[in-house]
Chains A and B, each alone.
Chain A
Amino acid sequence: MSTPCGCGSQNTCSGITIQPIVHAPWITGIVATTVGLIPTISTKLTRSDRLSALKMRLGIGRMKYKIPPGLYAAGRPAATSPVLVTANYKLSFDRLRMHLSAFNAWILVLDTNGINVWCAAGKGTFGTAELINRIRITKLEQLISHRKLILPQLAAPGVAAHLVKEATGFNVKYGPVYAHDLPDYFRNDSRIKPGMRRVHFPLRDRLALIPMELMPALKYIPVFIAWLIIVQLLRDHHLSFKILTELIPYFAAIFCGSVLFQILLPWLPFRSFIINSWLLTIIFITTLGVLFAVDWSSFLPLLFILPPISAYLAVNFTGSTTFTSLSGVKKELAWGIPVIIISIISGMIIQFVSII
């Protein structure tokens, strides 16, 4: 990313704002405007875009997926064309542009540190200040003849529409939650149907979040191995590969708390994540125990150790769901964490007692 002119931190020169030149496969050209050179972008996602989306979901090299903030052009927008605002996280940007192939629009990308719209809005980075700042830096009022900005609805936790209007004269209009509703929105004269204002959490979205639940959970495996080594040394006075079979129930707990719970979430009977996952894990490991005809005396400590592990993993999913409140999470953790700790310690005690 190069700055063609060396003057000032806002890259202004003779009153013309020069946006740093961006080189990327999704840039198809450049359009010269009254406020400088604006990159035009492709509205078709490529295999490389889909591959990078997969990597983002797996948490691989995420910081590579920040795009430079500023103005971009989709199609051949004019001064009367709509302005759509988004975050500088590539997945957000891609999800927006892929629905714009039939339209001419300006895209104003805010600097949200590469974080998606909703998270950034909650943190304040997709915020009133950044929006006002970006409007000023890009000299948007010189480019656009109207005074309307279309924001994704989920930017609202961070943006006070009335304050943006006071500071810049631009009216913030909250568009649909999902970019895929934009074509319908545009074709119906910016009419929002009530369904466009609701957030959903379908299976597909829950599945997409599983890798970022499962992978952090795997870091507990060495802890489980260390525990099993201690138990085995105390019990058998030597180490053997039996440890590997003894690990299987722990993998089951990880599976229950980071995968199965997430899949079954809407069908679980209780509201509490800890209670739901605790029950789910008991049912799952008991079923496995029956199927593999385990020795029930060695099963007892597991009944105290595995469900809390799974519950701890499951309650951490609250940060990725679309419906859990801070007050609810605090309430759940207030009793849940002590119960988890007590249960694990009890299980460890039962295990030691059974060895003596």
Chain B
Amino acid sequence: MSLVYLKNVVTLKLDADKCDGCGMCLQVCPHAVFHIENRKAVIGDRDRCMECGACTRNCAAGALFVRAGVGCATAVINSKLHGTEVSCGCSEEVCCN
């Protein structure tokens, strides 16, 4: 029984040379993707990553990269149909969550 999505697809990258071990990525990741090893952050289970972008945004050292975006099929389909960027098209009137 588990909730995990596709294997080996996420764009998450960690540059160990730039990492200063501040641990912010551990604090903000909702799926405990990171842990500290030898005073630097390390990616544990990358398949748990949902590309929310919290780690990348809060990494002051610029060691992290992920192509953050909404993991929402409706958003992807709409972007293909209208030729626009993938984004959550929901508004205050229609938020599905």
Given contacts A192-B27, A323-B71, 17 further A-B contacts (CB under 8 A): A62-B94, A66-B92, A116-B95, A122-B52, A122-B70, A122-B88, A154-B54, A157-B52, A197-B27, A209-B96, A319-B75, A319-B97, A322-B3, A323-B3, A326-B76, A328-B10, A329-B71
- Chain A residues whose C-beta falls within 8 Å of the C-beta of B91 in the assembled complex: 113, 115
* CB <8 Å contact, B97 and A116: yes
- Chain A residues whose C-beta falls within 8 Å of the C-beta of B5 in the assembled complex: 271, 323-325, 328
* CB <8 Å contact, A323 and B4: yes
Q: State whether the Cβ of B44 lies closer than 8 Å to any Cβ in chain A.
A: no
* CB <8 Å contact, A272 and B92: no
Scan residues 1-55 of chain B and give those whose CB is less than 8 A from a CB of chain A.
1-7, 9-11, 24, 26-32, 48-54
Which of A209, A316, A319, A331 sits near B70, CB closer than 8 Å? A319
Convert B49-81 into 0s and 1s, putting 1 for each residue whose CB lies closer than 8 angstroms to a CB of A: 111111001101000000111111111110000
What is the size, in residues, of chain A's interface with B at 8 Å between Cβ atoms? 59
Among B48, B60, B90, B97, max chain A CB count under 10 A is at B97
- Chain B residues whose C-beta falls within 8 Å of the C-beta of A330 in the assembled complex: 76
* CB <8 Å contact, A326 and B27: no
For the complex, give the distance between the alpha carbons of A123 and B70 in Å: 8
The stretch of A27-35, A74-82, A159-167 that contacts the partner chain: A159-167
* CB <8 Å contact, B73 and A318: yes
* CB <8 Å contact, B28 and A319: no
* CB <8 Å contact, B72 and A329: yes
* CB <8 Å contact, B51 and A153: no
Whether A333 touches B73, Cβ cut-off 8 Å, given contacts A162-B58, A174-B27, is: yes
Which of A192, A212, A322 sits near B96, CB closer than 8 Å? A212
Among B5, B67, B73, B96, max chain A CB count under 10 A is at B73
Which of B26, B30, B51 sits near A199, CB closer than 8 Å? B30
Q: What's the least CB distance linking B18 to chain A, in Å?
A: 14
What is the size, in residues, of chain B's interface with A at 8 Å between Cβ atoms? 50
Whether A197 touches B32, Cβ cut-off 8 Å, given contacts A156-B58, A323-B3, is: yes
Pick 26 A–B contacts, CB within 8 A, sort by A: A119-B88, A119-B95, A122-B53, A154-B54, A157-B54, A157-B68, A160-B57, A162-B58, A192-B27, A194-B32, A197-B29, A197-B30, A197-B32, A212-B96, A271-B7, A272-B6, A319-B73, A320-B96, A323-B3, A326-B67, A326-B71, A328-B10, A329-B72, A331-B9, A332-B6, A333-B73
By beta carbon, the residue of chain A nearest B71 is A324
- Chain A residues whose C-beta falls within 8 Å of the C-beta of B95 in the assembled complex: 62, 114-116, 119
Q: State whether the Cβ of A327 lies closer than 8 Å to any Cβ in chain B.
A: yes
Which of B3, B71, B96 sits near A266, CB closer than 8 Å? B3
Q: State whether the Cβ of A18 lies closer than 8 Å to any Cβ in chain B.
A: no
* CB <8 Å contact, B50 and A324: yes
Whether A113 touches B92, Cβ cut-off 8 Å, given contacts A315-B73, A319-B75, A331-B9, is: yes
- Chain B residues whose C-beta falls within 8 Å of the C-beta of A265 in the assembled complex: 3
In the A-B complex, the 5 residue pairs with the closest CB atoms:
A319-B72, A156-B54, A326-B69, A114-B92, A156-B28
- Chain A residues whose C-beta falls within 8 Å of the C-beta of B48 in the assembled complex: 323
* CB <8 Å contact, B90 and A199: no
Convert A36-61 into 0s and 1s, putting 1 for each residue whose CB lies closer than 8 angstroms to a CB of B: 00000000000000000000000100
For the complex, give the distance between the alpha carbons of A118 and B27 in Å: 15
For the complex, give the distance between the alpha carbons of A123 and B53 in Å: 11
Q: What's the least CB distance linking B31 to chain A, in Å?
A: 7
Q: State whether the Cβ of A63 lies closer than 8 Å to any Cβ in chain B.
A: yes
* CB <8 Å contact, B74 and A319: yes
Convert B81-95 into 0s and 1s, putting 1 for each residue whose CB lies closer than 8 angstroms to a CB of A: 000001110111111
By beta carbon, the residue of chain A nearest B27 is A174
